Amino acid sequence: MTSPRRFGADCLRAAIFLVVVVAASPAAADYAEGWIKARAGEYAEALDAWRDEADAGAVDLQFNIGVIYESGLLGAPDYDRALAWYRRAADHRLGAAEVRLARLYRLGLGVAADPERALKLLKDAVQRGDPEAEYRMGAALEAGRDMTQDTAKAAELYARAAAQGFGPAQFALGRMFANGRGITKDVAAALDWYQAAADQGVAEAANNLGYHFERGIGVAVNAAAAVAWYRRAAEAGLALAQVNLGICLRYGLGVGRDDQAAVAWFRSAALQGDPTGQVNLGLAHANGIGVDKDPVEAHAWLEIASTAGEEAAEAQRYLATLAATMSPADATLARVRADDLRRGLTATGRPMSADLTLRRVDQLGQPGLVVQRHLKTLGLYDGPVDGVVGSGTASAIKDLQRAMSLPPDGTVTPELVTLLARASRPWDPAWPRSRSPI
């Protein structure tokens, strides 16, 4: 049996070996530079840093370049180029790329709409066990979108993806357990899955945990814990959580009362188009709570909230009461102000379906791809990062295993993925110290 002391010596020997070789890969420098530029919002520079390696077959970078083009990070969305890059990544059976391709075909973006091809792309990825594809197929089945609704099958697919650690699926499965939808209701299981998803940065899961602690559903009432979870989700940009946190601050639930902070969170939610945030912000201005009393600003926000959504009827009642106290001139100013505000609104909340974010290699669901990227970062591998564990990848793995006095079998294992991930972090800016939201 290997002793703890011997195990530590092996790890130290491996670390020394990795430090010696880490400077050997120019491609690793371009990869790192691309992530640094992307995080600074300099997407054109990131694309320039990544393009050569992507052209050489780096599947993770092909996917991310597709995201840059699809999301319009260089200006207007360029669906033609996004489609081309996603196709290259999908040719290597990258599930995330197949999911994006399926969306473009379903919506007819950059290509003629083809729902059948979109569904086939998704099914192919599901058959290979890709967790994101399983999650997307589950969502389609739950909603009955382009297929017969089947909540039981949806829950099954969510469970498969959740077991592979896919955060949005963990949240969806928790929601199914919480509501008894397609599966036997089990609040304890729901909380476990919400916790797992929240640990991966899924803001919706953190918000739901806050709700359970606030209301005492499956746990003892704990207002302070509720505030902590709401705050985590609010800071991640989830409008619903921003409203919930604002309410806690307004009434001093689990936190000291702070009307100004409450209004700031209501405003953040309102600017994302959240109707409850808009009503609360309007009422704050109408009554001078946390801000100066301003009937014109109040009328503008209530008018916006009154046009549609679940808060429309309530907003209309408040609006009628407020309008009765205003002069015709102020009412005109309020309508002009509402038009100005509408132009600055974004989509409601931060829906997980709008997931056009760059992905670290560990978020793409292919262990072979993860190993190749880390080996390349560490200067141990100079082949393409294509997810195909061929002779070049196996040889690099064996070299590492020999350096660690391990049997050189050249196979990809979960232990190898974990070891390489830890070894890469000091040099790889794509591996932040804290988890980022999905």
User: Confidence class of residue 400 from pLDDT cuts 50, 70 and 90?
Assistant: confident
Range from 252-266, 291-305, 401-415 carrying the lowest mean pLDDT? 401-415
Work out the angle between the directed axes of helices 203-215 and 239-251 (0-180°, nearest 10): 30
Least Cα distance to 231 among 259, 260, 265 occurs for 265
pLDDT over 50 at 211, yes or no: yes
Opening angle at CA 119, ends 113 and 121, nearest 5 = 100
214 closest CA partner among 266, 174, 254, 180: 254
The model's pLDDT over 168-190, given as tens digits with 9 standing for 90+, comes to 999 999 999 999 999 999 999 99
H helix or E strand, kind and range, residue 35? helix 26-39
Percentage of the chain beyond pLDDT 90 is 70
Pick the more confident residue, 95 or 7: 95
The SS3 call for residue 126 is helix
Mean pLDDT of 57-77: 94
- Residue 427 confidence (pLDDT): 58
CA–CA gap between residue 395 and residue 188 (Å, rounded): 46
Residue 37 is encoded by which pair of tokens?
């530029």
Amino acid 377: pLDDT: 85
What average pLDDT does the structure give for the chain? 87
Q: What is the pTM of this model?
A: 0.80
Position 52 scores a pLDDT of 94
- pLDDT confidence of residue 404: 80
